[in-house]
Chain A
Amino acid sequence: MTLLKRGLSRRRVLQTGMAGIVGTGVAPLMFTKGAWAQEFCNNPTGDTITIGLNVPLTGAYAEEGADELRAYELAVKHLNGEGDGGLLNVLQPSALKGNGILGKKVAFVTSDSQTKADVARAGATRMIERDGALMITGGSSSGVAVAVQGLCQEMGVLFMAGLTHSNDTTGKDKKRYGFRHFFNAYQSGVALGPVLGQEYGKDRKAYHLTADYTWGWTQEESMKNATEALGWETVAAVRTPLGAGDFSQFLTPVLNSGADVLILNHYGNDMINSLTQAVQFGMRDREVNGKQFQIVVPLFSELMAKGAGANIKGIFGTSNWHWNLQDAGTKAFTKSFGAEYGAPPSQAAHTCYVQTLLYADACERAGTFYPPEVIKALEGHEFDGMGNGPTLYRAADHQCMKSVLVVRGNENPTSEYDVLNVVQEVSRDAVDYDPAIFGGDLGPAEPVPMC
């Protein structure tokens, strides 16, 4: 009232105020939902955002890497409103509009991680610092995932892990900026154990050959726990170098060890080579301790099964997802991927595609690319329609909790892709566990480190 008495009319106050608002550039923010003043690494200013794809195109996991790359390209296409939309049509709930993310077109840069942690970190650093990547994603080695996840935490960039199965990724090495959709070794053991007990009995002697890095160690530990709980004896657990190629020197001792089950804690080309060579050694034709000798591959993929050919028939393992499931999400993704590339997607491709969509959806729901808000949108998020049934992104460790598939090499394949049968879908509740058992600390989301 005093101001008005001095000759400043209400109209003058409003005019001055509006001029000040417009002049200081605050106006656009007033009308933008969730606009954050904070600066963060690679805060996008143009009409495009860039994501960094860190996949192994060479090395022991190159087949998975190539399929992951195909899936990312498809996900970007769908996010940008091209193609048939894929899983955008079935994700529930969904904030995705098919016009990019928050109205910005999605672009990507790639780096060959070579399945080597140091190369992967260098590639991720380059994509963040030089190419302005806002989010890093990729697989297929847990050693690589743990290394890149740590880097992303330091740089304040979100890491949406591709195929990584070690307990450590969301266990002792978990990070606030890292999220994993793929299941883990502990869940493989819990899902597979009862099926093995039912098929092969309680009195078995197991010999482990294990890839000598974080994934192999946790896979071996989880399978030991699961099989020893059944009453099986662990005869030996032998570590093999990643990419060993010729496993004959590791397989020969199995023959006279008294073991009647060989558990191959190998993945990718290592698994193809070790399984093929084990079959060449006549292991599947042997009888030991009065029982038929068996081989178990705890983590299976369609690409590995295809590479191993007939050797895979009848062998048990677990999978995160399989293209011949009959839910709407799986059908939509298989149709989209198959039409684009002429082959069904692998579980590696599926998890990478889903991770890209989940990141985009979280940004839309948060209304910003500001990482701490995107993290909040992902933590504790419940969704469905992505092919794994109802799924929870657990806030305590950033592990997706969902059902796990027990699969078996198809005895009578009808096509080159029909290599695995889903034996059992183990429910989310059955593979649930206390996140505290693996220790680790997520660390803070804020203050956001600047890259």
Chain B
Amino acid sequence: MFNYTFQWKQAMARLPQMLDGAVVTMQVAILSMVLGILLAIILTMFRLSGIRILSAVAKTWVEIARNTPALFQIYMAHFGLGSFGLHLSPFLSILIGITFNNAGYLTENFRGALKAIPDTQTRAARSLGMGAAGAFRHVVLPQMLRISFLPMTNQMVWAILMTSLGVTVGMNTDLYGVTQDLNALTFRTFELFALAAVIFYAITKIVTLGARLIAARLFRY
């Protein structure tokens, strides 16, 4: 019944290729986080703007990002836009899909963080002659990012793991895509994917530990 000979050597021989894939995975994850944070800040300002159409845009974005599968979001970036004649590379599609997802979740996190910052902070900043934008940028935003740092770390981990969905839109240069291709070549399915899982695990561990170090350095107050 259990008739399988493990051949770890074969898998290990592919490790360098898989690590190259891991680099691409990190590129996608980091880029999608940076863009996601920037977009989430913009969407948060939309929400705060009091301009109905802008806050509707932000609200819709958050609703879709949080209540539909990430796979759907990535599909829409690739095949959805594709049906309108806009053909994006797998790399761009996955990047857009994950960025969309990140921005939605982060906007919601930012909303929670904002609730924790008293209005009097803005009032104090305004009373010093700062404009609404200046008060947001120098007083509210830094505190908001600090409060949402932990959720941001979670989202980063989630972004790394979501890159594996890229395989569905033909991505084959990231860790999961590379593993998939190697599997087709060697049929060492269990060994290869187990190795990929270990690499994913190691990356996310390093990211969370790194985030903790950054937090300790950045937030001394």
Asked if chains A and B come from one complex, the reply is: no
Question: Could you list which residues of chain A lie within 8 angstroms of chain B, going by C-beta atoms?
Answer: none
